[in-house]
């Protein structure tokens, strides 16, 4: 490192200094974008977009969401669209890598000129584009993530949450467990990120003094779940609360069976997609002479959307019909998750009027009385954008063929903190009365 290097390094410092006089992190507030525009709306189409993991490790769990939404938009378009316009739903692959999320979101906003972003997936990913979307004036509806930051009208005026808040959900579930399993020794099994920490914040409100073991998992280290389960077994836990995605719920259940460990499994909604769990476990377990339904029988879960095995629900019947005609693969709750996003977006778009602008879409969302398809009230007002506001508690019962979901507790709503848990009060409309396409 002799003289020329020193000179060059000095030049680097000086030139950079000249280009940025102030601190790099000192940012001024920018003025809001004009929302009275109809970017992405033509006479016969409305273009919207989303970022989803279509390849890479995360795609295995989440690919089905955008597939579900695509199938629903195909159905809506075949019914004549919304106000005579087809909905073009563009799905861009971000591989669950935030640097790619930023890139594909800019492509969607500036290249494809989307009208709105619908259901951008993932906390690490979507959190990196919310600022950008609000700066560009792009409505950011129903991100596919239960993080708290989507419910922050001050900071992100264009963002409206969708998924039930992990803390509220865990709190309702914890109260149910505390009342119905008063003697249970509890283990927490959770994903090591905000899914885990937010869920524990709710669980601890009712279960803190019953916890005998807790262990997180990294979604990047699939080979290492046996250790967590054996620690639960060692601690003598007889009830495992699992705040985890379906693949890790499945791994946990299998490891428990493998180790001869019997416990009551309680799984929060993100991991309780029983059709997916069935598919994940089926061939592995049945090779060993274990019918998959026997593994899943008795699992307690929480939920806020209609589910595949709620065979009497009008929305489930409707989703099954749409899926049979437009979908691929087997209908799962993950696909329904995407279908519900699509239905709700279409309803908001319809309410935004014949000539929608971004502002009128947002106004429609804010003033909407959501009567379904979710099983609980949905918050998208000026003050509260928490999305689905509560959960019901249910139990999987093995039957002939597909099992059924038995409701243990009606839909309840609550807040994140010490507030009461009260029954949800709302009317739910069926798909026929729900005004979401022409």
Partner 1 sequence: MASSLRRDDPPATAAAPARPAAPRRRALPVLARHLAAAALALAAIAALTFLVGPLEHLRIARVGYLLLAVAGLQILVGASGQVSLGHGAFMFVGAYTTALTVLHAPAVPLAGVMVLAVAAGCLAGVLVGAATARLHGPYLAGATLALAVGLPALALYFSDLLGGSNGLRFALRGTPPELSGLLTDNQWKALVVWLTVLTALVVLATLSRGRLGRRMRAVRDDESAAAMAGIPVGRTRVTAFVVSAGCASLAGACEAYLLGTATPSSFSLALSLSLLAALVLGGLGSLWGALWGALALVYLEAAGRELADLLGLGSSVADNLPPVFFGVMLVVIVTAWPTGVHGALRRLGGLSARQRTPNPPSDPPSITTTGA
Partner 2 sequence: MNQFVSLTFEGIANGAVYAALGLSLVIVYQATRVVNFAQPALALIAAYTAHTVIRATGSYWLGFASAVAAGTLLGVLTERLLLRRVQDRSPLNAVILTLGLLLALRGLAGMVWGNLQHSFPPPMSFRDLEAVPISPEELFALASVALVAAALFVLHRFTPLGLRMRAAALRPESARLSGVRVGLVLTAGWGIASAIGALAGMLAVPPLLSPTVLDAVFVYGIAAAVLGGLDNPFGALAGGLVIGVGLSYVSGYVGSELTTLAALAILVVVLSLRPAGLFSRATVRKV
Chain positions contacting partner 2, by CB under 8 A: 54-57, 59-61, 63-64, 192, 215-218, 220-224, 226-228, 230-231, 233-234, 247, 250-251, 254, 257-260, 279-289, 329
d(CA 117, CA 341): 11
- The reply to whether 63 sits near partner 1 by the rule CB under 8 A is yes
Nearer of residues 236 and 353 to partner 2, judged by Cβ: 236
Nearer of residues 193 and 415 to partner 1, judged by Cβ: 193
Which 177-206 positions form the footprint of partner 1 (CB under 8 A)? 192-194
Nearer of residues 11 and 224 to partner 2, judged by Cβ: 224
**Among the listed residues 62, 89, 96, 160, the single contact to partner 1 using CB under 8 A:** 96
- The reply to whether 224 sits near partner 1 by the rule CB under 8 A is no
User: Taking the complex as a whole, how short is the minimal distance between the CB of residue 8 and partner 1, in angstroms?
Assistant: 4
- The reply to whether 154 sits near partner 1 by the rule CB under 8 A is no
User: Taking the complex as a whole, how short is the minimal distance between the CB of residue 221 and partner 1, in angstroms?
Assistant: 9
Nearer of residues 19 and 36 to partner 1, judged by Cβ: 19
The contact pattern for partner 1, residues 124-153, with x = CB under 8 A and - = no contact, is x--xx--x---------------x------
Nearer of residues 152 and 286 to partner 2, judged by Cβ: 286
d(CA 167, CA 302): 12
- The reply to whether 25 sits near partner 1 by the rule CB under 8 A is yes
d(CA 365, CA 376): 17
- The reply to whether 59 sits near partner 1 by the rule CB under 8 A is yes
Q: How far is CA 236 from the centre of its chain?
A: 32
Which partner, partner 1, partner 2, none, binds residue 295 by CB below 5 to 8 Å per kind? none
d(CA 276, CA 299): 14
Secondary structure string (H, E, C) spanning 247-261: HHHHHHHHHHHHCCC
**Among the listed residues 40, 50, 61, 67, the single contact to partner 1 using CB under 8 A:** 67
User: Taking the complex as a whole, how short is the minimal distance between the CB of residue 352 and partner 2, in angstroms?
Assistant: 34
Which partner, partner 1, partner 2, none, binds residue 20 by CB below 5 to 8 Å per kind? partner 1
Nearer of residues 9 and 311 to partner 1, judged by Cβ: 9
Total number of residues that touch partner 1 (CB under 8 A)? 53
User: Taking the complex as a whole, how short is the minimal distance between the CB of residue 71 and partner 2, in angstroms?
Assistant: 15
User: Which ranges constitute the DSSP H helices of 117-165?
Assistant: 123-126, 130-136
d(CA 374, CA 389): 10
Q: Are 64 and 121 in contact (CB under 8 A)?
A: no
Q: Are 261 and 286 in contact (CB under 8 A)?
A: no
Q: Are 116 and 140 in contact (CB under 8 A)?
A: yes
Which residues touch 113 (CB under 8 Å, ≥6 apart)?
Answer: 39, 40, 47
d(CA 366, CA 380): 5
- The reply to whether 123 sits near partner 1 by the rule CB under 8 A is yes
Piece of 59-67, 200-208, 255-263, 379-387 that binds partner 1 (CB under 8 A)? 59-67
User: For the range 230-235, what are the long-range contacts, defined as Cβ-Cβ under 8 Å and sequence gap of 24 or more?
Assistant: 230/259, 230/261, 232/187, 232/189, 232/256, 232/261, 232/263, 233/259, 233/261, 235/185, 235/187
d(CA 257, CA 253): 6
Nearer of residues 131 and 433 to partner 1, judged by Cβ: 131
Nearer of residues 91 and 172 to partner 1, judged by Cβ: 91
Which partner, partner 2, partner 1, none, binds residue 4 by CB below 5 to 8 Å per kind? partner 1
Q: What one-character-per-residue DSSP string does 201-265 give?
A: HHHHHHHGGGEEEEEEE-TT-TT--HHHHHHHHHHT-SEEEEE--HHHHHHHHHHHHHTT---EE
φ, ψ of residue 200 in degrees (nearest 5):
-60, -35
Query: Binding residues for partner 1, per CB under 8 A?
Result: 1-2, 4-5, 7-9, 11-17, 19-27, 54-55, 59, 63, 67, 70, 92-93, 96-99, 102-103, 106-107, 110-111, 123-124, 127-128, 131, 147, 192-194, 218-219, 328
């Amino acid at each position: 490192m002799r003289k020329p290097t020193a000179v060059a390094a000095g030049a680097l410092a000086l030139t950079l200094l000249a280009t940025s006089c102030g601190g790099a992190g000192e940012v001024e507030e920018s003025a809001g974008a004009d929302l009275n525009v109809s970017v992405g709306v033509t006479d016969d189409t409305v273009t919207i977009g989303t970022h989803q993991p279509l390849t890479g490790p995360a795609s295995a769990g989440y690919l089905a969401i955008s597939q579900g939404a695509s199938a629903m938009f195909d159905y809506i378009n075949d019914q004549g669209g919304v106000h005579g316009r087809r909905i073009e739903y563009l799905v861009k692959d971000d591989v669950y890598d935030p640097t790619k999320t930023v890139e594909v979101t800019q492509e969607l906003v500036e290249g494809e000129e989307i009208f709105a972003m619908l259901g951008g997936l993932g906390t690490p990913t979507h959190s990196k584009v919310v600022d950008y979307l609000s700066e560009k004036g792009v409505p950011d509806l129903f991100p596919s993530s239960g993080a708290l930051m989507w419910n922050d009208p001050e900071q992100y005026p264009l963002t409206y949450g969708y998924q039930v808040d992990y803390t509220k959900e865990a709190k309702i579930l914890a109260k149910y467990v505390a009342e119905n399993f008063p003697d249970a020794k509890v283990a927490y099994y959770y994903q090591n990120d905000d899914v885990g920490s937010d869920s524990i914040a709710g669980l601890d409100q009712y279960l803190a003094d019953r916890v005998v073991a807790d262990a997180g998992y990294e979604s990047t280290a699939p080979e290492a779940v046996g250790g967590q389960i054996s620690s639960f077994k060692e601690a003598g836990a007889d009830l495992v609360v699992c705040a985890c995605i379906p693949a890790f719920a499945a791994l946990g259940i299998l490891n428990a069976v493998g180790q001869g460990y019997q416990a009551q499994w309680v799984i929060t909604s993100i991991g309780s997609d029983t059709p997916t769990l069935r598919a994940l476990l089926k061939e592995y377990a049945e090779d060993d002479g274990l019918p998959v339904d026997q593994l899943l029988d008795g699992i307690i879960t929480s939920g806020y959307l209609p589910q595949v095995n709620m065979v009497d629900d009008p929305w489930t019947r409707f989703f099954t019909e749409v899926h049979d005609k437009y979908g691929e693969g087997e209908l799962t709750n993950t696909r329904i998750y995407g279908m519900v996003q699509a239905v709700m977006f279409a309803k908001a778009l319809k309410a935004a009027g014949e000539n929608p602008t971004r502002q009128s879409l947002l106004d429609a969302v804010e003033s909407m009385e959501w009567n379904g398809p979710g099983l609980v009230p949905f918050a998208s007002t000026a003050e509260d954008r928490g999305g689905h506001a509560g959960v019901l508690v249910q139990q999987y019962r093995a039957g002939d063929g597909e099992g059924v979901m038995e409701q243990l507790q009606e839909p309840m709503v609550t807040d994140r903190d010490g507030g009461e848990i009260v029954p949800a009060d709302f009317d739910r409309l069926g798909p026929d009365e729900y005004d979401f396409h022409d």
